[in-house]
């Protein structure tokens, strides 16, 4: 009898928790949706970001040459880049709603654009995936080859080149062709935003019951444009190309769209469509993050200085190009090996396995990327105040100020963040394998992927060690 009471009590507690969670999620969704419907959105984040961006440009080209005292390098590499990584997880691609590069492009598009359609070759799935992959590799490569974080001028030139791409594209084409198909930064953000805890989605029941023929969320209505990102929000199932700009909310006359909270593993878990090309970009991200860590290690700089007279190590473009391609091929090779063993066990086609598991490592990579960049930030927060003071002509000595976290505290945080990513990746592998088990797949078939997740975790612990070289 006592046991029965205890079970009932536990059930009641679970029920209370579920109701509380539903209420909290509904409250968030309600407020988030109202914000995105508001005419102030996204202007409220675009204006301050644009102002800061203009100051960065000024500092990059007219500020001090010392990167540790320059507002452009300190803000871009010590503040913005690490915080940007955190936004992928929390807000998805929200940076793209605030992005000053496209804010400028948008303004010019309204008045001067030729409004051509996007070229058809970019819409081909295979080619689009290759272009985005090359854009991701280019971004990581160009940062290292030019030593962007050590040079205010190069930081400014890189930002200027991305802005030029966005502006040119908006002047020639309709909608955001640059952002959707070409932007190196956007390609990077898009992959990680698939592991975000927020999503914009339409309620298909509302669309159907309203018998909405206009698909205004895509085409626009009464002067309100539809999705500039070339999504059809009614059927959208991925965050990858959604900037949370809110245009579709304002264009939809039936209130079908909402901003929702979700588990960060949801998109990968439920998108069971075979999409080999896209899945490979998730695997390539592993290699790129490993590359970013590798080239900051003392070991890398030691090898480069020892072999600086050889043809490969003497040329920065060549050695960084070889390293990034090598890391990406290594991550793909290991993944292919795990998929091959899995296919041998299950008898399923290898391409299907590559597509199904390609994004399962995304949470681990994202968390490692966040951890690595937050480490850089906490090691150099003492540069922020002098850089801001430098803008108005004051000089503060950076070395006299302390860092944000003690080394011990940072090591614990660093390990915890990576382990959260590992746990999410293992969860995803387990969930996908559980569905397969219902079709007769043996339990141990997941072992190759589990082994790979453990190997990547160890590698990220070693490569993304917080005691590495400082970024600026």
Q: In sequence order, what are the residues at sequence separation of 6 or more whose Cβ sits closer than 8 angstroms to the Cβ of residue 159? A: 53, 56, 57, 60, 76, 101
What is the C-alpha to C-alpha distance for residues 176 and 109, in angstroms, rounded to an integer? Answer: 10
| Residue 289 binds to ligand SF4 (criterion: CB under 6 A) | no
* Least distance CB 310 / ligand SF4 (angstroms): 37
Q: In sequence order, what are the residues at sequence separation of 6 or more whose Cβ sits closer than 8 angstroms to the Cβ of residue 384? A: 74, 75, 78, 79
* Least distance CB 288 / ligand SF4 (angstroms): 17
Q: Which of residues 210-229 bind ligand SF4 (CB under 6 A)?
A: 210, 212, 215-217, 227, 229
* Least distance CB 201 / ligand SF4 (angstroms): 9
**Closer by beta carbon to ligand SF4, 233 or else 448:** 233
Q: Which of residues 407-426 bind ligand SF4 (CB under 6 A)?
A: none
Helix (H) or strand (E) holding 200, with range, is strand 198-202
Residue among 56, 118, 137, 248 that touches ligand SF4 (CB under 6 A): 248
What is the C-alpha to C-alpha distance for residues 241 and 176, in angstroms, rounded to an integer? Answer: 10
* Least distance CB 175 / ligand SF4 (angstroms): 10
Virtual torsion, Cα 110, 113, 119, 120, nearest 10 deg: 50
| Residue 327 binds to ligand SF4 (criterion: CB under 6 A) | no
| Residue 357 binds to ligand SF4 (criterion: CB under 6 A) | no
**Closer by beta carbon to ligand SF4, 99 or else 453:** 99
Query: For residues 248 and 207, is the Cβ–Cβ distance under 8 A?
Result: no
Strand partners, 116: 173
Distance separating the N- and C-terminal Cα atoms of the chain = 67
* Least distance CB 172 / ligand SF4 (angstroms): 15
> What interhelical angle do 276-294 and 316-346 show, nearest 10?
130
Q: In sequence order, what are the residues at sequence separation of 6 or more whose Cβ sits closer than 8 angstroms to the Cβ of residue 369? A: 85, 192, 289, 292
| Residue 243 binds to ligand SF4 (criterion: CB under 6 A) | yes
Region of 97-105, 122-130, 374-382, 418-426 interacting with ligand SF4 (CB under 6 A): 97-105
**Of the candidates 289, 123, 91, 120, the residue with the CA atom closest to the CA atom of residue 193:** 91
| Residue 102 binds to ligand SF4 (criterion: CB under 6 A) | yes
User: What are the backbone dihedrals phi and psi of residue 466, each rounded to the nearest 5 degrees, phi first?
Assistant: -65, -20
Residue among 101, 148, 167, 328 that touches ligand SF4 (CB under 6 A): 101
Please count the other Cβ atoms lying within 10 Å of the Cβ belonging to residue 333.
11
| Residue 202 binds to ligand SF4 (criterion: CB under 6 A) | yes
Residue among 60, 72, 78, 99 that touches ligand SF4 (CB under 6 A): 99
Q: Is 450 exposed, middle or buried (0-12, 13-18, 19+ CB in 10 A)?
A: middle
| Residue 457 binds to ligand SF4 (criterion: CB under 6 A) | no
Q: Which of residues 250-269 bind ligand SF4 (CB under 6 A)?
A: 252, 254, 256-257
**Closer by beta carbon to ligand SF4, 87 or else 149:** 87
* Least distance CB 251 / ligand SF4 (angstroms): 6
**Closer by beta carbon to ligand SF4, 252 or else 384:** 252
Q: Which of residues 153-192 bind ligand SF4 (CB under 6 A)?
A: 162, 166, 178-179, 183, 185-186
What is the pairing mode between strands 198-202 and 257-261? Answer: antiparallel
What is the C-alpha to C-alpha distance for residues 146 and 232, in angstroms, rounded to an integer? Answer: 38
* Least distance CB 240 / ligand SF4 (angstroms): 10
Quote the DSSP letter at residue 221.
Answer: B
Three-state SS at 224 = strand
Residue among 129, 200, 284, 387 that touches ligand SF4 (CB under 6 A): 200
Query: For residues 469 and 298, is the Cβ–Cβ distance under 8 A?
Result: yes
Q: In sequence order, what are the residues at sequence separation of 6 or more whose Cβ sits closer than 8 angstroms to the Cβ of residue 459? A: 290
**Closer by beta carbon to ligand SF4, 215 or else 334:** 215
Question: Residue with the closest Cβ to ligand SF4?
Answer: 186
**Closer by beta carbon to ligand SF4, 233 or else 386:** 233
User: Residues interacting with ligand SF4, by CB under 6 A?
Assistant: 96, 99, 101-102, 162, 166, 178-179, 183, 185-186, 200, 202, 206-207, 210, 212, 215-217, 227, 229, 231, 233-234, 236, 242-248, 252, 254, 256-257
């Amino acid at each position: 009898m006592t046991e029965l009471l205890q079970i009932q009590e536990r059930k009641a507690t679970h029920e209370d928790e579920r109701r509380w969670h539903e209420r909290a999620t509904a409250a968030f969704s309600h407020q988030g949706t109202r914000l995105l419907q508001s005419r102030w959105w996204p202007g409220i984040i675009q204006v301050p970001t644009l102002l800061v961006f203009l100051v960065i440009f000024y500092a990059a080209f007219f500020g001090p040459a010392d990167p540790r005292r320059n507002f452009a390098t300190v803000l871009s590499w010590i503040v913005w880049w690490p915080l940007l990584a955190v936004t992928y997880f929390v807000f998805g691609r929200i940076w793209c709603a605030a992005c000053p590069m496209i804010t400028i492009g948008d303004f010019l598009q309204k008045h001067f654009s030729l409004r051509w359609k996007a070229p058809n070759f970019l819409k081909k799935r295979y080619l689009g995936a290759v272009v985005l992959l090359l854009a991701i590799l280019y971004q990581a490569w160009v940062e290292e080859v030019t030593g962007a974080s050590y040079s205010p001028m190069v930081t400014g030139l890189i930002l200027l080149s991305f802005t030029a791409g966005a502006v040119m594209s908006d002047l020639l084409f309709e909608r955001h062709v640059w952002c959707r198909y070409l932007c190196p930064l956007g390609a990077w953000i898009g992959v990680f935003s698939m592991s975000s805890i927020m999503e914009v989605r339409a309620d298909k029941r509302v669309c159907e019951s309203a018998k909405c023929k206009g698909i205004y969320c895509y085409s626009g209505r009464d002067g309100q444009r539809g999705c500039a990102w070339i999504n059809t929000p009614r059927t959208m199932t991925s965050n990858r190309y959604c900037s949370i700009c809110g245009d579709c909310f304002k264009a939809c006359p039936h209130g079908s769209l909402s901003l929702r909270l979700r588990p960060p593993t949801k998109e990968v878990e439920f998108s069971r469509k075979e999409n080999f090309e896209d899945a490979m970009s998730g695997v390539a991200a592993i290699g790129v993050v490993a590359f970013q860590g590798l080239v900051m290690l003392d070991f890398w700089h030691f090898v480069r200085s020892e072999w600086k007279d050889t043809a490969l190590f003497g040329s920065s473009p060549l050695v960084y190009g070889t390293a990034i391609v090598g890391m990406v091929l290594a991550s793909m090779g290991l993944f292919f090996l795990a998929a091959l063993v899995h296919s041998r066990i299950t008898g399923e086609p290898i391409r299907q396995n590559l597509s199904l598991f390609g994004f399962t490592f995304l949470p681990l990579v994202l968390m490692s990327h966040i951890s690595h960049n937050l480490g850089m930030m906490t090691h150099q927060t003492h540069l922020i105040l002098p850089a801001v003071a430098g803008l108005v002509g004051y000089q503060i000595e950076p070395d006299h100020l302390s860092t944000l976290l003690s080394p011990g505290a940072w090591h614990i945080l660093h390990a915890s963040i990576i382990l959260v990513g590992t746990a999410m990746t293992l969860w995803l592998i387990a969930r996908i394998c559980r569905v397969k088990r219902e079709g007769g797949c043996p339990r141990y078939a997941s072992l190759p992927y589990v082994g790979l997740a453990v190997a990547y975790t160890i590698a990220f612990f070693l490569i993304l060690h917080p005691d590495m070289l400082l970024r600026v």
